[in-house]
Amino acid sequence: SYEAVETGTGNSQYSGEVEITTTKSGSGFELTDGDRGGHKTYDLNQGSSGTGELVTDDDDTWGDGTGADRQTAAVDAHYGAAKTWDFYKTALGRDGIAGDGKAAYSRVHYGENYVNAFWDDSCFCMTYGDGEGNKNALTAIDVAAHEMTHGLTSATANLDYAGESGGLNEATSDILGASVEFFADNAADAGDYLIGEKIDINGDGSPLRYMDKPSKDGNSADFWDENLGDLDVHYSSGVANHFFYLLAEGSGKKTVNGVEYDSPTADGSTLTGIGREKAYQIWYKALSVYMTSTTDYAGARVATEKAATDLFGADSEELKAVSATWTGVNVK
Ligand code: ASN
Ligand code: ZN
Ligand code: CA
């Protein structure tokens, strides 16, 4: 039971000062979120196994916001997990990753100079490295939501992590990762269609991935072709990320929350967006009802068309937009 639910103050590295849900424990507090299944955040202290130590504090004010301390990364991870949980509940009507109200847990400060983060089904947990020089933990909200969504995908379509289905698996994490960032509506990390823009993973301030034109990363595909499934899943995801951007916002130039986008179509067609909320509802319904472990891009087109039909009707503009947008990324 969580009768001692508290609201703490977190000084995060990427999202400014945030409220985090904590639990009173003895004379102090711990990072256990009793409002969200009891999600806990642990400090691995540069280790790479087990759970390390549950993060605790004396006065319920956490982190210094620099990332040079031990608590800041835990604040970002705990906040990201909470916002992702809230997005699943409020926007998708889903009770946690597996739909059963069960919390995952987070582990921060994994390894030395570890420039990655990951979800693991076997522990039902997500884990974050501290980045190059242990300076930029990979705990920004879009990264946290990306990793947590690997758990959601495992619990639903369970898309195989290879070939085209692997690209769709990766894209699902980017699509809901970006959607959570918009949902959180945080002034220090406003929503965008970029992935990992806060963690400086390239050392030059550029993001890891771009949804409006995925090829801007130098590796990802903008449009489907018959060799797409040969790419790494983090690059074949580009086509579905691009589909999602186009479905939400439309083609051509657009500025959202101060970020400029310019999204092309394969055939030069002009697409009009239906908005982000409808776009993620269609994607989630397709994922959770119609996709299976072997769904490929052609199958994703069918799955999202069925989802749009269920949600908006067989004569709907939304269904027409889904079909036209897939054609726009060369999935026919
Ligand atoms: N951060 C990576 C991802 O979520 C880890 C991996 O390659 N599986 O895709
Ligand atoms: Zn991923
Ligand atoms: Ca982002």
Calpha distance 332→328 (Å, rounded): 9
| Cβ contact 237:215 at 8 Å | no
- The residues annotated with a catalytic role in the active site are 147, 234
Task: Please identify every stretch of the chain with a pLDDT value under 70, giving residue numbers as ranges.
Answer: 1-3
Q: Quote ipTM for the complex.
A: 0.95
Instruction: Count the alpha carbons within 13 Å of 246 in the hemisphere toward its beta carbon.
Output: 30
Indicate where the chain has its CATH 3.10.170.10 domain(s). Answer: 5-155
Which residue ranges have their beta carbon within 6 Å of ligand 1? 116-118, 146-147, 150, 170
CA angle 241, 92, 207 (to 5 degrees): 30
Calpha distance 43→29 (Å, rounded): 15
Rounded to the nearest whole angstrom, what is the distance from the C-alpha of residue 126 to the centroid of ligand 2? 11
Indicate where the chain has its CATH 1.10.390.10 domain(s). Answer: 163-328
Residue nearest to atom 8 of ligand 1 (CA): 118
Q: Which CATH class is domain 163-328?
A: mainly alpha
Return the H-helix or E-strand segment holding 33.
strand 32-33
Helices (H) and strands (E) in the chain, counts: 8, 15
How many of the other CB atoms lie within 10 Å of CB of 313? Answer: 11
Q: Name residue, tokens 């990364």.
A: 73
Fold of the 5-155 domain: Elastase; domain 1 (3.10.170)
Q: Which residues surround ligand 2, an ion (CB under 5 A)?
A: 173
Rounded to the nearest whole angstrom, what is the distance from the C-alpha of residue 138 to the centroid of ligand 2? 12
The torsion angles phi and psi of 236, rounded to 5 degrees, stand at: -70, -15
Q: DSSP character for 288?
A: I
Rounded to the nearest whole angstrom, what is the distance from the C-alpha of residue 143 to the centroid of ligand 2? 9
Three-state DSSP class for residue 158: coil
Of ligand 1's atoms, which has the minimum distance to the CA of residue 119?
4
What is the pLDDT, as a whole number, of residue 3?
64
Instruction: Return the amino acid letter for 83.
Output: K
Q: Which ligand is nearest to the CA of 199?
A: 3
Token pair for 126: 């997500």
pLDDT per position as a tens digit, 287-330 = 999 999 999 999 999 999 999 999 999 999 999 999 999 999 99
Q: Name residue, tokens 């509802």.
A: 281
| Cβ contact 199:193 at 8 Å | no
